[in-house]
Amino acid sequence: MKYVGFDAPGDPSVLRLFDAPAPLPVAGEIQIAVEAAGVSRADALGRRGLYPAPPGHSSILGLEVAGSVAALGPGVERWRIGDRVCALCNGGGYAERVVVPEGSALPLPENWSAVEGATLPENAFTAYDNLVNRAAMEPGDTLLIHGGTSGLGTMAIGIARALGARVFVTAGSHRKCAKAIQLGAHRAIDYRTTDFVASTLAYTNGRGVDIILDLVGGDYVARDLEALATEGRVVVLSTMRGSEVQLDLTALLRKRARVIGSSLRGRSNAEKAQIAEDLQQAIWPLLSARRPIAPVVDSVFPFAQAQKAHERLESSEHIGKIVLIPV
């Protein structure tokens, strides 16, 4: 099979095509013939050598795919060869074949292409788990998403709207803010020209928001507390602005706030399967309507142009998901 890899960590130019035998599924796994693979920030970190695969995970980049089931490992009962699926991967998605735990796969939604389906797994698992399971989002809550037009941000807008939340986002241009509104955000704040704390407090009549989904980290976390309502929750998912934070604990105590850290890749197959089950119950029945949860594909590149896909990702000019296809 063909796969995208690199000889040594580095910038996007290190990515190239390699050949290797296709991985075979063991007990409880399925092999997927990959038609599309999502590109994520985690992939870029892995390419730079900053996010190594956990023990037992594939060292090949790629954490989400869509395609068809090509082979079954012993004991697999849920899937049949030929089933159309999208799946969260323990690595290995940038390849013509990948094996995944059977519980990490979900049916490809009706009316979604494979390219569109590849935008779902990592973003849907992450958004749903952190908004619902960790931040306990309820209908009527107000949510602020930093990075609202990223792949994860656009998915979080749709899921939050579907579950009855009021959604604000930050984004880095007028174009991105307009897209966020089109996707269902109630308010969009251009963080390059406007203070998101002041705007958030103004939009909520001084109350603040119930939940902040922070894809930025660094100095944003302290500012999140200023924009947070009493009993509010901040969920930190990334450290793009740095991993060290200085917090005013008085504000944390006064607001009875919670700062929650979260990651997905290193969690057990059983935990991921439970999130998949939750998604199939609560979110998957909504997807065929393509509203309020819609696929947002920024661009599509063949495996041979993975360098360009990563350059696009790191430019931060994209809106939604960048996708690779094995042609």
**271 has a pLDDT exceeding 90:** yes
Q: Based on the number of CB atoms within 10 Å of its own CB, is 255 exposed (0-12), middle (13-18) or buried (19 or more)? A: middle
Task: For 209-224, write each residue's pLDDT tens digit.
Answer: 999 999 999 999 999 9
Task: For 117-127, write each residue's pLDDT tens digit.
Answer: 999 999 999 99
**What is d(CA 223, CA 36) in angstroms, rounded to the nearest whole number?**
38
Q: What is the pTM of this model?
A: 0.96
Between 107-121, 125-139, 185-199, 236-250, the lowest mean confidence (pLDDT) is in: 236-250
Please, which residues have CB within 8 angstroms of residue 57's CB and are 6 or more apart in sequence?
Answer: 90, 91, 265
pLDDT averaged over the chain?
A: 97
pLDDT score of 206: 98
pLDDT score of 327: 87
Task: For 146-159, write each residue's pLDDT tens digit.
Answer: 999 999 999 999 99
Task: For 58-97, write each residue's pLDDT tens digit.
Answer: 999 999 999 999 999 999 999 999 999 999 999 999 999 9
Identify whether the C-beta of residue 143 lies closer than 8 Å to the C-beta of residue 59: no
Task: For 15-62, write each residue's pLDDT tens digit.
Answer: 999 999 999 999 999 999 999 999 999 999 999 999 999 999 999 999
**191 has a pLDDT exceeding 90:** yes
Domains of the chain in sequence order: 2-120+265-325 (3.90.180.10), 124-261 (3.40.50.720)
pLDDT score of 208: 98
**260 has a pLDDT exceeding 90:** yes
pLDDT score of 239: 84
Task: For 281-323, write each residue's pLDDT tens digit.
Answer: 999 999 999 999 999 999 999 999 999 999 999 999 999 999 9
**236 has a pLDDT exceeding 90:** yes
